[in-house]
Structure 1
Amino acid sequence: MPPDTSAAPLQGGPANVDDGDRGETVTTAKVRVYFSTCMGRVLVARHSRTVTELGGFICGRQDDDFTHYVTLDGKRSEGKGFIRSFKTLLALASGRPIVSDKWLAASKKQRSFCPPNEYLLEDTKAEREYSFSLRESYLRAQIRPVFEGFEVLLTPNLLKGETDSGSGLVKLVCAAGGIARTKLPIQGEFQSNKSIAFGVSSDRRWASRNLREGVPFYEREQLLAILQNQKLPTER
């Protein structure tokens, strides 16, 4: 059984990302760009020069502390746009902008990083497929991450089914403001109004016997949908 991480919310969420709404440029010292793997080497190299010339930093594949996720508009490039991955869910969970590479083209022209809101990724096909809005999810997380103030149980059965033993799910929960729990609680331990549990179908019997009445129980796909939509199933 994985140890109880009791992981606290990650730092570097919405409060630490300047979205530019209060001015005409983004604070250069905070700009750390991650490029989607769907972007070609030539394009990444060109945009990387822009980032460094403007005083920003390029994040590698293992870096999770990026402030801006850059990709290609889905409507412009077939097979591009929004791809549900750990990095895109991390961006949505923590209120970091997922932008089109047009943001960097405009920033180069302006000679400073532009506010990202005008360049948020548009991908109507993906939004229809997943029944959500990229812009609305980003704006919700900017106001309040979906798990803020919640204890979030990730059952051992759920975690052991992950290729990384669940470390990615724990990071996503924390990025969304939650406190991740990975040990099964004793009966009645969770507070019903600020607790939520995620597991696999075989955990449902245990959940019905051991979770306090009112504590919702969902499976993995619903966890990803909550992180993506930045709202709970009970919210409109």
Structure 2
Amino acid sequence: MEGDAKVTESIRSTTTPQTAPATNTRRKQPSTTDESSSPDPVTPRRGRRSTKLTTPTEQSSQEQTSTDDRPVRIALSSHLNFDQSHLETLRKLGFEIMDESCQVDALVVDRIRRTKKFFMCLARGAHILSPTWIETMIKENRYLPYEKYYLQDTNAETRYGFQLRESVRLAKQHPIFENYKIFCTKDTSPPYDDLKDIIEAAGGKFIEKINLNKPGKDLVCIVAQVHKNEYEDLCKKGVPIVSEEFALSGISKQKLDFEAFSLFQNVATTVKPTGSK
């Protein structure tokens, strides 16, 4: 499995429904978290536990007092050109460079990229930051607060219909697929294993088999187009049968739109997350 495998453009051409619904299904979650709070940067988190993050450099020096809460585990997009000397400078400043996307505090990327690494970091509420942050810290050989270096990619935000910083804020509050069981067929794009990692990063429980007699009201089936007809009967039982884009769009927008990405239009579903009333 490649950690930064690109999500191909074929998703949009093969999985987007031909007809758009009049309304969207709002994001369903049992959490009572106040989502009207300010979108200002919040304390970085690992998983769901609030952690005060300080670099070793800061712990041994009183010169840098601008912020006590900072990313220390960072992932770098493979599209960036940082060499070993740059990485060594970052390590001396107290950062841990990680290849895996699951537990990082920040992802540094040049633009919004529909890759496994990007979706996993966004799903976990990691800060998505511009390479300028790294470049400036390397040049000045000191830590700089990340708040002013959030990635800005207006074109992609407009194209895909979400605000990156707001999505990060919501993802920190509550994993979008928490309390949902997700079944996925083979032959998906992105590949099955990548979708599994992305959905689990967003709090979903991936299952290998479906109980056809009692599928459960918290079940969602992500189905490749080539297998669509095999799941028509399950759809009639109220189980959402959706395309791969359902997951990617849901993580990007932090809102689950069952109707827009249903493979069977005009069929009512009864899905709800476990624990909801």
By the TM > 0.5 criterion, same fold? yes
The one-letter amino acid paired with 1:66 is V
Identity of aligned residues (%): 25
CA distance in 1, matches of 2:96, 2:53: 17
Q: Which is richer in helix?
A: 1
The one-letter amino acid paired with 2:105 is T
The residue number in structure 2 matching 1:173 is 199
Number of residues paired by the alignment? 203
SS, match of residue 147 in structure 1:
coil
CA distance in 2, matches of 1:88, 1:56: 19
Residue 221 (1) aligns with residue 245 (2):
yes
Instruction: Provide closer, same or farther for how the CA distance between residues 125 and 68 of structure 1 changes in structure 2, counting only shifts above 3 A.
Output: same
Contact 1:196 1:216 in 2 (8 A): yes
CA distance in 1, matches of 2:141, 2:49: 25
Match for residue 160 of structure 1 among 164, 168, 187: 187
User: CA RMSD for the aligned pairs?
Assistant: 3.2
The residue number in structure 1 matching 2:73 is 32
The residue number in structure 2 matching 1:133 is 163
SS, match of residue 199 in structure 2:
helix
Normalised to the residue count of structure 2, the TM-score between the two structures is 0.62
Residue 59 (1) aligns with residue 98 (2):
yes
Unaligned runs of 5+ in 1: 1-10, 73-80
In the TM superposition, 1:9-158 aligns within 5 A as 12-15=46-49, 24-26=67-69, 31-41=72-82, 45-46=85-86, 48-60=87-99, 64-72=102-110, 81-104=111-134, 111-112=142-143, 114=145, 116-155=146-185
Unaligned runs of 5+ in 2: 1-44, 55-65, 260-277
CA distance in 1, matches of 2:106, 2:143: 15
The residue number in structure 1 matching 2:224 is 200
Decide which moves more: 146-155 or 97-106: 97-106
CA distance in 2, matches of 1:169, 1:199: 11
Q: In the TM superposition, what whole-angstrom CA distance separates every residue of 1:69-103 from its partner, at most 9, and x where no partner exists?
A: 1123xxxxxxxx11111100111111111111233
